[in-house]
Amino acid sequence: MMTTILASSFTIASAQKGRQCQQDGKRAHQECTLNNQKGCEILNLTDNQKAKFEKIKLEGDKKVIPLKNELNELSARKTTLMSASKIDKKAVNKVIKDMSAKREQIQLIRTEQHISMRTELTEKQKVMWDKMKQNRKHKSGHKNKKHRKPLSNCCR
């Protein structure tokens, strides 16, 4: 009986922790969207600049989404290969190289987007843009693997 009570309380605590992680994810997405709106306000973008930014972003996203899908497929393939009873090291290495190539393509597209957007800005806006980029890097330090929480503490 005592074991049942402990097990059920652990299950409830885990579920609450999972909901909190989902809420944090939603909150992070909302903050990201708000930051983009704040960024437009801080930069004081014209309607023409906003339209060009949207067009640049849309064109980039059209290229990036299929690459991300392929990257996800490669990741699943790698997981499958790694869970086999006898691991084919050659096949795993090939998948890893393919994943690296996809990541490189995505990074090149994003860099091109950044350059295209930056060319639309005035000198004053470029200074503000650079400051905003630096602030984002400092705020998002948790994305760096060195600063991540251990898996045992994450969303369990």
Tens-digit pLDDT string for the chain (156 aa): 444 444 444 444 445 544 444 444 444 333 333 346 666 677 888 889 889 999 999 999 999 999 999 999 999 999 999 999 999 999 999 999 999 999 999 999 999 999 999 999 989 888 888 888 887 766 665 555 555 555 554 444
Separation between Cα atoms, residue 92 and residue 96, nearest integer Å: 6
DSSP string, 53-93: HHHHHHHHHHHHHHHHHHHHHHHHHHHHHHTSSS--HHHHH
Q: Which fold has domain 50-119?
A: Four Helix Bundle (Hemerythrin (Met), subunit A) (1.20.120)
Domain boundaries defined on the chain: 50-119
- Spatial neighbors of 77 by CB under 8 A, at least 6 apart, are 95
